[in-house]
Structure 1
């Protein structure tokens, strides 16, 4: 295993042309990349397969757990093809949104009337719009207001003008777009994710827990064959059902791009804190995304505000921070990850102990919104803190067993000896967790000892423990018990004499 500095908060990097250059993937992993993200909205399956295989090979060669996250496109509404590829809209102008396929029927219109037409690639959008609603184009830079609407044509007034281009995104914060997730394209990408044994799938434009249920119904039966679902919170209506969405998900993403268009931009910091808080309370891993180090797409050094933004996401309680264009198309992908890791390390050094104490107190409060915490998991974190144990070690076969402990944000490393390759990789996203792939063959005393020896070797090799240090062990009492039910302290020098 290649040693690199241990940090609690994880790093997600988006793959793209900038990561295709020889040696870049290896450097990203070496600098701290824990999750490689594939954006299914760009490229084709051949591109995705090639990049995924490169990540798998590099991670195996370096001995590092790296999860793959594939983002589904979702029902992203876009402007169709425009003459000259763009159109300038003036304040007060009246335009008509029509289905792109209907443009041919408008050939009889005069040139002036045709110039007012804005083709829309998804006719479902036209059916959802109502008079008085706002429509935003081009990442929110252009605002329209619906004046009249039919199932085939929507008449709008331009409130804030600007230049709209072919393929520009359309946001409709006030419309409820029922049961559009998953799209047919999403289903195709889901099949790809299953075939390539992807660990995480990001579900875009989730509005309700029902959206996740429909996506999950597309997956094969059997927990071992299913990727974990990450709900991307980027719609205003998702905030109304936030608790239900988080409960129905396996993880959450604060997708600040579209969310910043769908909600008041001034409220994004508060919304981010709320989403992270709800995810933390329910033990769901949460990723903070979009423009973390946006200036590094073109510049080698980030701004002070960006460094502060990353640090604040850590202090909010995020499990991971994500780079998008910075690594996908940026000029300095490795430098971006290296700087991101520096900010995470500096922030954790100053605040991780306080964060652990705050999380334990918040969970222990009588009026906490949390479900009753697992007594064993809570006790393990308390015991580790009081003894200043160097680690909490957990042989595990399920994500739930690990998240039950990780949700309390222990100060000590949570070393998980995973019983499967899928779990080993999936856990790379979870804050404070250091996954190891189990080399033990048994589940009884011999297997437990092997897990402890493996964890001890890793801790010492990373400089996180000395041979005579104490650790807390959370384990199952026997092969018939999948969930941990036993808690004990172990001195690393006496692992071989442990009575399983």
Structure 2
């Protein structure tokens, strides 16, 4: 059985050689994340070159995902060193001009906009949530008093968040605009946007792309409670979603995170859009060749919930066992997907709402594939929409998505169970393209049944939505 879940591996110092990336591909990773919070142009250029070389050598579709930094809000260093706090300790948080006059422990945050709208009682999280505070007084316009709710060290230059509030900083920073220009020049396939709070954020990124004469698929990273409040609107605007559990876990009560993950995945499945689950999936494998039982269960549950992709971050970027980590994730996927199909949990009914004819035809094709025990589903999908609809039906069969468009092929690679492929461009007829692909592909043997879906363009029209579903049997000679 083909593994349907897609594995995303983040590249970094631990995987910056051709041999290391080749091992990741051989182990099962097909999508590679370039984290623009770390590394420079030379590193990213080298990585894209390696991925394209491997793509050419293996014949596989390998997708490059550019992850923009977004406004990571950090404290600044005013030379006061690290502060040790105990539960109940009060500290001041203010702009650098307030530091000299401070006679109490002081943390510097030199972003004046962040103080607007802060109220007594609001939570504040420092150092990825390791230290938590509550606002106990507003001392001045850019100076607030915090009280620690736990103990620990507060060094400078650490990330700080104001959980539950709408951040006044736009998610597309000047750094992101410069990084986007680099990514588009290097030829990335998909762009992930950090700290999305509303659909306009996605539209702003599209406008920025247009300045470079390009339009790539955009994955919205959900890290703010404000984004959860308008999830449906963001889903309409974005091409895919990432459940970024690191920062989202700071915004929510941690006990709320698993249910939030399930709700987001369910909404994405219904909308027929790919969803990525990320952060600390197999974190212990950064330093250990073995994962924990909890991590193993976490990956399996993400797959059972309906995730299209599971993502590795530090595990492959700086970890000591990148190849082993991907292979273990693949093994979990194999066991989980076997259970999904034997238990009937990958039920067609979990897919998208069948309101449109093309949606209904995708559902019918998936059902027909199941009833006939077909080898695969082959669809000719100009925009990739049909392959995503088929994927959301969660058929047991792989979905071969034929598209002449490089960008479409590389984005369909993010959808569960979808294998991108290039059709013969000499044929205008989409159905015939699909049949020729089956006849020529070594993936299918004589006598194999394949379900074909295609859009047959009417005369005078260059494109149409899916309007054909056909049961096709591969024969040794062309059907007469």
State the distance in 2 between where 1:490 and 1:29 align.
32
Superposition map of 1:165-204 within 5 A: 165-178=155-168, 180-204=170-194
Distance 1:338 1:495 in 2: 39
TM-score by length of 1: 0.89
Residues 352 and 34 of structure 1, relative CA distance in 2, 3 Å threshold: farther
CA contact (8 A) 1:77 1:125 kept: no
User: Could you tell me how far apart the structure 1 residues matched to 2:477 and 2:172 are?
Assistant: 49
Root-mean-square deviation (Å): 2.3
- Aligned-partner Cα distance in 2 for 1:85–1:229: 40
| TM-superposition CA deviations, 1:112-143 (whole Å, max 9, x none) | x3562211143321224222211011111211
Q: What residue is the counterpart of 1:466 in the other structure? A: 445
Kindly report which structure 2 residues correspond to 1:384-463, keeping only aligned pairs within 5 A, or say none.
384-444=369-429, 448-458=431-441, 460-461=442-443
Deviation per CA, 1:182-216, whole angstroms, max 9, x where unpaired? Answer: 12222222222322232211111112222222222
- Displacement after TM superposition at 1:467 (Å): 1.3
Mapped pair 1:99 → 2:90: no
Aligned counterpart for 1:11 among listed residues 7, 10, 14: 7
Stretch deviating more after TM superposition (324-333 or 48-57):
48-57
Map residues 333-372 of structure 1 onto 2, 5 A cutoff: 333-352=322-341, 354=343, 358=347, 360-363=348-351, 372=356
Cα deviation, 1:421-456, whole Å, max 9, x if unaligned, reads 222222211101011123432212xx7545433345
Corresponding residue SS for 2:471: strand
Correspondences of 1:55-204 after superposition (within 5 Å): 55-81=51-77, 83=79, 86-100=82-96, 102=97, 106-107=99-100, 109=101, 113=102, 116-146=105-135, 147-148=137-138, 150-178=140-168, 180-204=170-194
Matched, 1:487 2:469: yes
Q: Is the 8 A contact 1:128 1:176 kept in 2?
A: no
1:330 to 303, 319, 325: 319
Q: Select which of 275, 285, 294 maps to 2:283.
A: 294
Q: Is residue 313 from structure 1 mapped to residue 307 from structure 2 by the alignment?
A: no
* Distance in 2, Cα, partners of 1:250 & 1:88: 44
Q: CA deviation at 1:150?
A: 3.9
Matched, 1:242 2:221: no
The answer on 1:210 being equivalent to 2:205 is no
Q: How many residues align?
A: 475
Query: What is the SS of the residue equivalent to 1:361?
Result: helix
Unpaired runs of 5+ in structure 2?
none
Mapped to 2, the partners of 1:382 and 1:467 lie a distance apart of 23
Would the aligned equivalents of 2:384 and 2:409 in 1 still touch at CA under 8 Å? no
* CA displacement 1:336-356 (0-9 Å, x = unmatched): 001111111111122135557
Q: 1:355 to 1:81 in 2, by over 3 A?
A: farther
Q: Give SS of 2:478's match.
A: helix
Looking at structure 1, the residues matched to 206 and 141 of structure 2 have their Cα atoms a distance apart, in angstroms, of 31
* Partner Cα distance (1:21, 1:319) in 2: 27
Q: In structure 1, how many angstroms separate the alpha carbons of the residues matched to 2:234 and 2:417?
A: 24
User: Could you say what secondary structure the match of 2:413 adopts?
Assistant: helix
Q: After the TM superposition, list the runs of 4 or more consecutive aligned residues in structure 1 that deviate by more than 6 angstroms.
A: none
TM-score, reference length from structure 2: 0.92
Q: Distance in 2 between matches of 1:353 and 1:83?
A: 61
Superposed displacement of residue 9, structure 1: 0.3
**C-alpha distance in 1 between matches for 2:382 and 2:350:** 28
1:383 maps to 2:383? no
Assess if the C-alpha contact under 8 Å between 1:181 and 1:214 holds in 2: no
Q: For 1:203 and 1:20, how far apart are their aligned partners in 2?
A: 23
Q: 1:269 deviation in Å?
A: 1.3
